[in-house]
Structure 1
Amino acid sequence: METYIAALDQGTTTSRAILFNSRGEIVSKAQYPFRQIFPQPGWVEHDPMEIWATTSRALAEAVDAAHIDPKAIAGVGITNQRETAILWDRRTGQPVYNAIVWQCRRTAEICDRLKADGLGETVTEKTGLLIDAYFSGTKLKWIMDNIPGVRQRAERGELCAGTVDSWLIWNLTGGKAHVTDYSNASRTMLFNIHTLQWDPALCAALDIPMDLLPEPKSNSEVYGHLASGLPGLEDLAGIPVCGSAGDQQSALFGQACFTPGQAKNTYGTGCFTLMNVGGTPVRSRSGLVTSVGWQVAGKTVYALEGSVFNAGSTIQWLRDELGLIQSAPECDRLAESVPDSGGVVVVPAFTGLGAPYWDMYARG
């Protein structure tokens, strides 16, 4: 019997599901957008329940469109927007606050305090990252410090914390698996990329109780199985969830950059260059960051990364906020209709500048 793999791609603006057959061919797919929430300039949020609803709906629709026996699906894999942080109730599954998105700059002052306390070198040495509002750790701290009662609930062990991969796996397994993969964990500013474990000193520096955090796992193993009774996914109960990677690392893997020195560019909401640097972390001298690329069959691969926060989102801004265009492809036609821009330059630093400047306060 033909077997299939279901891939969930939970991105910054849409949730997508794709079914592949054993030859790697796309059999069916479904995709749903969800709201972008901007409470104030530089702040970006998502509704975690909307993330889950659009993801599960896309999976159900893709399976339905494939006209296959759901039992022929060998496994579900996940790739996701990476640094977006969520805190939720361990018993009810209800989020305590909206997801704070990777683009959000609200924790810049927390980062400034950490730098002033002299933590910069420690963070880079242990995590491969720089202290920046981009990464998840300060987002979790902000929720606990600013939403009434959340820190007390966290300290009583009533809450779970994680990035979007953890949130999806927790929901898919009916709350049985609270895990993350090494690639996503390495984007939190709380994870030691040398030991592949949460770092107690960094968690203490950010006042984050360690029992909130998911168990770190490799990128290819069984994390759990789809729970029975998930609305719209009843026929998928028992299928293993057995692959997970942050979107940029999964793109590096998907573009077959298996040899050190090979690199890829991805053009999406933001733009990201990643290079495979092999089995030993390489420290950048030029404002890049180092992350776990993946661990498969016990072998860990590391990556150097340069991050641009606003790319496709800039096109959305031209369309939805300025109203200069009706659709994204119009940008090309407008650009081609004139010899040059007349000296006008846009620096789309709407949520700060990433590599190599790391300026949290820059704006467009």
Structure 2
Amino acid sequence: KTGLRIDAYFSASKINWILDHVKGARERANVGDLAFGTIDSWIIWNLTDGAVHVTDVSNASRTMLYNIETLTWDNELLTIFNVPASILPKVASSSEVYGHTSGQILSSSVPIAGIAGDQQAALFGQMCTQKGMAKNTYGTGCFLLMNIGSKPIFSNNNLVTTIAWRIGGKVTYALEGSVFIGGAVVQWLRDELGIIKTSAEIEKLAESVADSDGVYMVPAFSGLGAPHWNPYARGTILGLSRGTNVAHIARAALEGIAFQITDILTAMQSDSNIEIKELRVDGGASANNFLMQTQANFLNTITIRPEVTETTALGAAYLAGLAVGFWPSMEEIAKQWQINRTFTPIPDPSIEQSLREWKRAVETTKFWANYDLNA
């Protein structure tokens, strides 16, 4: 119904816990004194001085209470989690005028016209508006979304199916895979190991060696995300030898980010039966040219970095501008999107072997997590 995995990451179990464990919460909810919403709902509630309680389909789809096929709050799920429907926001499209700022916030009344979840907004900001287009955000974690068109596809590979946006009466769906540790591994090398002083230094250090010399880093510091979903996994560095130096570890760390994205995109292509033609990239770590070239090589697909890499904010602005007529159509918005650099894959016969070794490294990491010393 929801396209999600059952997980406390989403809202439903948290709402249930609050209503059952915070004194007086359920009683207040039952008499209409409590309202639930994701952060967009809270912001709009405050901007309108409590006049508007709303969310959009993309945020609703991440609560584990919203049916992404019927596009309604699901009564069966509300019963299972014992959540009263009265606390839920109205679900609107991602691009329309929901209300106006109150006079207490700004001196003039400003229309509030765009809502989207973080990564869905980034997908729109990257103008991945056609089926089969995909983007990856390289932040602290990594978030890869593929536009799968007007009908949901439910994953056989531990991916999430989500609503990307609804504009007018048309709903667009996406497959999503999350990597918990992306750019955070660079921060770890800087802050905990001290092998670099700034994050930017890692690119030059990684390029100072021809390869990782057989070293693989699986950065499962907080478990493995898609397509593995193993919360007990922990980070591992494999293949160390007496000749291993900090440059090999730095290179293995960046390659580990690219390997994880390759795993997710492979799963997406299998689920959707769509072969992507390009990957659009954004986020802080997309500035690392070595990482972007490595990603293109591993995927054997061109990787495109736009001029504006803060695509979440850009996507939200596009949705709002579309609603108020600042842009008359998505085709006009698409003209705003500009390429900064395209990374074309460089043929390398060793990549296939490296991908196999990476899979072996991941399986070793999972074995460590699952092994019972008392067995």
Q: Which residue identity is paired with 2:203? A: D
TM-score, length of structure 2 as denominator length: 0.57
Per-residue deviation, 1:141: 2.6
Match of 2:55 in 1: 180
Per-residue deviation, 1:162: 1.6
Q: Which residue identity is paired with 1:301? A: T
Structure 2 distance, partners of 1:326, 1:157, is: 53
Per-residue deviation, 1:261: 1.4
| Correspondence for 1:241 among 112, 115, 135 | 112
Q: Which residue identity is paired with 1:246? A: G
Structure 2 distance, partners of 1:257, 1:292, is: 14
Alignment of 1:83-98 (within 5 A): none
Per-residue deviation, 1:140: 2.5
Residue 315 in structure 1 maps to residue 190 in structure 2: no
Residue 305 in structure 1 maps to residue 176 in structure 2: yes
Q: Which residue identity is paired with 2:177? A: G
Change in CA separation of 1:331 and 1:223 when aligned onto 2, cut-off 3 Å:
same
Would you tell me which structure has more helix in proportion to its own residues? 2
Greater Cα shift, 249-258 or 354-363: 354-363
Alignment of 1:72-87 (within 5 A): none
Residue 190 in structure 1 maps to residue 65 in structure 2: yes
Structure 1 distance, partners of 2:23, 2:205, is: 49
Match of 1:162 in 2: 37
| Correspondence for 1:262 among 133, 138, 149 | 133
Match of 1:358 in 2: 229
- Percent of matched pairs sharing the same residue: 59
Structure 2 distance, partners of 1:312, 1:143, is: 33
Change in CA separation of 1:148 and 1:350 when aligned onto 2, cut-off 3 Å:
farther
Q: Which residue identity is paired with 2:67? A: N
CA contact (8 A) 1:133 1:360 kept: no
Per-residue deviation, 1:339: 4.9
Residue by residue over 1:187-238, the C-alpha shift from the partner in whole angstroms, topping out at 9 and shown as x without a partner, is: 11110001111111112212222222211110011111112222xxx33x31
Q: Which residue identity is paired with 1:169? A: I
CA contact (8 A) 1:132 1:360 kept: no
Per-residue deviation, 1:342: 6.1
SS at match of 2:36: strand
Q: Which residue identity is paired with 1:284? A: S
Greater Cα shift, 213-222 or 278-287: 278-287
SS at match of 2:95: coil
Hey, which bits of structure 1, 4+ residues long, moved more than 6 A? none
Q: Which residue identity is paired with 1:262? A: M
Per-residue deviation, 1:147: 3.8
Per-residue deviation, 1:254: 1.8
| Correspondence for 1:278 among 149, 153, 178 | 149
Q: Which residue identity is paired with 1:333? A: K
Alignment of 1:56-67 (within 5 A): none
CA contact (8 A) 1:248 1:272 kept: yes
Relative contact order, CA 8 A, sep 6+: which one is greater? 2
Structure 1 distance, partners of 2:75, 2:208, is: 57
Structure 2 distance, partners of 1:346, 1:151, is: 47
TM-score, length of structure 1 as denominator length: 0.59
Change in CA separation of 1:145 and 1:301 when aligned onto 2, cut-off 3 Å:
same
SS at match of 1:160: coil
Structure 2 distance, partners of 1:209, 1:353, is: 34
CA contact (8 A) 1:350 1:363 kept: yes
SS at match of 1:302: strand
Residue 225 in structure 1 maps to residue 105 in structure 2: no
Mark the runs of 5 or more structure 2 residues left unpaired by the alignment.
Answer: 236-375
Tell me the matched-pair count: 235
Per-residue deviation, 1:163: 1.4
Change in CA separation of 1:312 and 1:277 when aligned onto 2, cut-off 3 Å:
same
Please identify the structure whose Cα radius of gyration is greater: 2
SS at match of 2:156: coil
Structure 2 distance, partners of 1:153, 1:214, is: 16
Pairwise CA RMSD: 2.3
Mark the runs of 5 or more structure 1 residues left unpaired by the alignment.
Answer: 1-125
Structure 2 distance, partners of 1:175, 1:321, is: 45
